[in-house]
Chain A
Amino acid sequence: MLVEPYNDFVRARFANPQHAGELKDRYDSICTAEVAESADGARLRLAVGIRNDAIAAMRFLAWGCPFLIAAAESLCADKENRPLGTLLEFDQNELVQQLSVPDAKFGRILLLEDALRSLAAQINANEKQD
């Protein structure tokens, strides 16, 4: 039996990341967060397009292993068209299971949570300014 390091969930999202890219300026507002694992480690940029208090679109850019790219793609797809208040709802354990992430790569998935928290902080700060 072949030992496959990546399951079909990872392969599909890695091969065709439909949410990779940047957002055009056609939303009420756009917030962007950048996080990195370390100076030379994985990097992730998440951008959320907000319209009518909803997550109208989410895009990512990632430099990292296939698990990070697949996880970012999955997260963006999951968040789109949901209320803005659900932005921080993120079950990393469920995603880890879906992707069958090995222990050594668990830190890459935590980047998603860091990016979401950073986005939420920006959105809150923007609301206070308004």
Chain B
Amino acid sequence: MLNEPIFLDYAATTPLAPEVAAAMQGWLASGRPYANPASTHVAGRESAAAVAVARDQVARLLNTKPGCLIFTSGATESDNLAIQGAARARAHRGKHLITMPTEHKAVVDTFKALERDGFQVSWLPPAVDGLLGIEDIASAMRTDTQLVSVMHVNNETGVMQNIREIGELCRSRGVLFHTDAAQSVGKVAIDLEEMPIDLLSFTAHKFYGPQGVGGLYIADRPSCKISPILFGGGQERRLRPGTVPVHLVAGLGVAAEGARQQMHTDHERMQILNDRLWNGVRNIAGVTRNGSAPQCYPGILNFSVSGVEGESLMLGMEPVCVASGSACNSVSAESSYVLRGMGRSDLLAQSAVRFSFGRATTEREIDIAIERYRNTVDHLRSIAPPISAAF
């Protein structure tokens, strides 16, 4: 059992749900007409109908109108389209934007690109618990502020921001509000008819759908206009040109339907697994939880430990598959910018491990992970030199 990989990295990606794979296979199977949904012939109309079904399924998950959704290649593209598209569409009104330094790189780097293009960005750091205070956003707003972007669930810590409150503030000031919901769609209830959100990014592969497809919600409001950032065709309301990939979109739709049906059960199970893991490690000396415990998505648990080097911790824990910092950024030797942005020291940030759970995670796997973590921490501490004046 111990040599079998134990996958606790579901925040990086989730496996395809069987019903999703079956739906996609139906489109990929040889012999079936596989037409461009933009084509007007009968085969094209069949593809277009499948895309419409998928759009309906995603709309039901988010309680919005299908016409408010456009399909993209995933959350990174959606973030780029939402942020660049909103900033450029409203640039004639003002060039001030607000976000957090602890956002996903897809958001951080997009804002940095806009800064290079002459936009001014206020980077609002979170408190030590990872949460951003509504008063901080209100204070940062100016008469020329056009867009606020704050992610829903942080991909490293699971911290869940108060997006309803932030959205209400933005509406009251006439500022667009975008949220990167890659880690929350399909896992946390989101009601877009009721929540004051203008732009919301999501991706299928975080909730048992295929990699390579996602979407952007654009509120049906006159003030919520964005400019395209890609050009070449009229697909997806002229905002996302390119042939819509029917098999991927069909998979996304089925994944959304499955998430809608299983969300409550999944969420309860995540909480049980989260509690089990945290209770198994919390009494290890020097362990610090990263993120506000009462306001975290329970499918993600991130903690640091003093006196242990992160890369060695990861190797010692094999075959438990977890992430140090952001999985998307694991090629970087730098410690997590998200945790440093929350005020963690380099040493603590460097020793952080993110555990994330999924539908297939068992309590037995959690127990093995706890044992491996404890043993590795003990071992690495036993071979580490004490901090002395020489250092």
Q: Which residues of A contact B (CB under 8 A)?
A: 6, 11, 14, 17, 20-21, 34, 36, 39-40, 42-45, 60-66, 69, 104-105
State whether B311 touches A20 (Cβ < 8 A): no
If the complex has contacts A34-B390, A39-B391, A64-B309, are A44 and B315 also in contact, measured as CB distance less than 8 A? no
Q: Tell me how far the C-beta of A110 lies from the nearest C-beta in chain B, rounded to whole angstroms.
A: 16
27 A-B contacts, Cβ less than 8 Å apart? A14-B315, A20-B382, A20-B383, A21-B383, A34-B385, A34-B388, A34-B390, A39-B391, A40-B345, A40-B350, A42-B309, A43-B384, A43-B387, A44-B385, A45-B385, A61-B383, A61-B384, A61-B385, A62-B383, A62-B384, A62-B385, A63-B307, A63-B380, A63-B384, A66-B312, A69-B383, A105-B333
Query: Interface residues of A: mostly helix, strand, loop or mixed?
Result: mixed
Q: Tell me how far the C-beta of A6 lies from the nearest C-beta in chain B, rounded to whole angstroms.
A: 7
- Chain B's interface size range is 20 to 34
CB < 8 Å neighbour of B309 from A34, A39, A63, A105 = A63
B316: A residues at CB distance < 8 A: 14
A66: B residues at CB distance < 8 A: 311-312, 315
Query: Interface residues of B: mostly helix, strand, loop or mixed?
Result: loop
Q: Which residues of B contact A (CB under 8 A)?
A: 307, 309, 311-312, 315-316, 333, 345-347, 350, 380, 382-385, 387-388, 390-391
State whether B346 touches A36 (Cβ < 8 A): no
A14-B312, A20-B383, A61-B385 are known; give 15 further A-B pairs, CB within 8 A.
Answer: A14-B315, A20-B382, A21-B383, A34-B385, A34-B388, A39-B391, A40-B350, A42-B309, A43-B391, A45-B385, A60-B383, A63-B307, A64-B312, A66-B315, A104-B333
A63: B residues at CB distance < 8 A: 307, 309, 380, 384-385
Q: How far, in whole Å, are A60 and B382 apart by their CA atoms in the complex?
A: 11
Of listed A21, A60, A63, residue having the most chain B CB within 10 A: A63
A62 nearest CB neighbor, chain B only: B383
B315: A residues at CB distance < 8 A: 6, 11, 14, 66
CB < 8 Å neighbour of B347 from A36, A40, A64, A65 = A40
B332 nearest CB neighbor, chain A only: A104
Q: How far, in whole Å, are A93 and B161 apart by their CA atoms in the complex?
A: 50
A17: B residues at CB distance < 8 A: 383
Q: How far, in whole Å, are A69 and B388 apart by their CA atoms in the complex?
A: 19
B386 nearest CB neighbor, chain A only: A61
A42 nearest CB neighbor, chain B only: B309
